């Protein structure tokens, strides 16, 4: 469903050398804060196992990666799949108790890092070991798959002599932040099901939440995301693309590739495929395509510029 391929060696798919010797703080400013407002340090202790970094402070991450493996999460506020993946990354990192540090990069605010990592689509997750990048995966993946990839990444780090751990400062981001409000019962049921990989149960829980409250925007957005994960589970990208190429007007075949593209972060490709299909279908066959587009718009987010462009083209095709 996505590109999940931890590198076998530390051959850098990207060149991070230009980031090594940057000053720790931007001129006239302060260092990039971590999730709790402090900054990472290349030592046996860090303020938090989850840190926010910038173009200016990423050199500290490279130094830290000589002690402990670092996972870089490239994300953006408008990215719907990022909002699905990032909490799972944070949970898995904290479960590992200091064996991995998670560095979060907002690609909109840090274009030099986005360029250095060649982030053509997000979410994009890259490991860094001893200052060298290791491609991990792109797109939203289930939490269990995150665990499996991180386990392979730790093995690779050990093969390259990076086996340290770090401790997060007491009362750091893990314990000092505001207490999150308790989830409504059906949302909690869905969240537990997602963590267990039981997407059918999660879909049912969100559908019941919407039946109780049709204005529950969080349930509606989450339902679209979980339905997407449910649909792509077990799909093979090569097989799906071959089937779509062989049957260009087969709705199920085209939907499968569009779903895989969304899950893999190739949002424009997915929308273009469905809009091209919509354009050639007779009016009485268009409804399922329009409904799938609207659902995927909700997964990505109405404010996303790619959704805005796709909505504009859909409107022009409708009228």
Residue 113 tokens, joined: 């890092």
Q: Is there a contact between 105 and 75 (Cβ–Cβ < 8 Å)? A: yes
Give the integer Cα–Cα distance in Å for 226 and 192.
12
Residue at token pair 């990032």 = 86
Give the integer Cα–Cα distance in Å for 226 and 200.
9
- Spatial CB neighbours of 17, under 8 Å, sequence gap ≥ 6: none
Residue at token pair 């997602």 = 194
| Angstrom distances, CA of residue 198 to CA of 81, 205, 230, 290, 304 | 18, 11, 9, 27, 28
Active site residues: 79, 82
User: For residue 75, what are the β-bridge partners?
Assistant: 106
Q: Is there a contact between 123 and 79 (Cβ–Cβ < 8 Å)? A: yes
In 96-216, which residue ranges form alpha helices assigned H by DSSP?
A: 111-116, 143-159, 173-176, 185-195, 199-212
**Which H/E stretch holds residue 102?**
strand 101-106
Residue 80 has phi, psi (to 5 degrees) of -60, -50
Secondary structure (3-state) at 138: strand
**Which H/E stretch holds residue 263?**
helix 251-263
DSSP annotation of 165 reads: -
Residue 140 tokens, joined: 């939203």
């Amino acid at each position: 469903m996505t590109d999940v391929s931890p590198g076998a060696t530390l051959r850098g798919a990207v060149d991070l050398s230009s980031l090594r010797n940057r000053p720790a703080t931007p001129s006239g400013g302060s260092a990039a804060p971590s999730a709790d407002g402090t900054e990472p340090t290349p030592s046996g202790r860090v303020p938090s196992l989850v840190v926010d970094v910038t173009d200016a402070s990423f050199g500290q991450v490279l130094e830290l990666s000589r002690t402990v493996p670092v996972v870089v999460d490239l994300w953006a506020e408008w990215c719907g799949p990022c909002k699905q993946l990032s909490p799972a990354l944070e949970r898995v990192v904290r479960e590992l108790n200091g064996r991995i540090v998670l560095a979060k990069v907002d690609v909109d605010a840090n274009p030099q890092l986005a360029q250095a990592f060649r982030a053509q689509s997000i979410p994009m997750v890259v490991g860094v070991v001893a200052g060298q990048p290791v491609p991990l995966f792109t797109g939203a993946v289930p939490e269990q798959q995150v665990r499996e990839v991180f386990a392979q990444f730790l093995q690779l780090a050990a093969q390259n002599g990076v086996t340290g751990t770090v401790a997060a400062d007491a009362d750091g981001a893990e314990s000092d932040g505001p207490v999150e409000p308790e989830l409504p019962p059906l949302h909690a049921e869905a969240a537990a099901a997602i963590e267990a990989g039981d997407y059918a149960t999660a879909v049912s829980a969100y559908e019941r939440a919407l039946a109780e409250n049709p204005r529950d925007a969080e349930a509606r957005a989450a339902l679209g995301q979980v339905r997407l994960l449910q649909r792509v589970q077990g799909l093979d990208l090569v097989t799906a693309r071959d089937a779509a190429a062989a049957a260009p007007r087969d709705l199920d075949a085209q939907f499968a590739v569009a779903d895989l593209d969304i899950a893999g972060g190739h949002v424009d490709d997915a929308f273009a495929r469905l809009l091209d299909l919509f354009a050639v279908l007779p009016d009485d066959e268009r409804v399922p395509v329009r409904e799938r587009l609207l659902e995927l718009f909700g997964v990505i987010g109405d404010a996303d510029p790619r959704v805005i462009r796709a909505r504009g083209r859909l409107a022009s095709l409708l009228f």
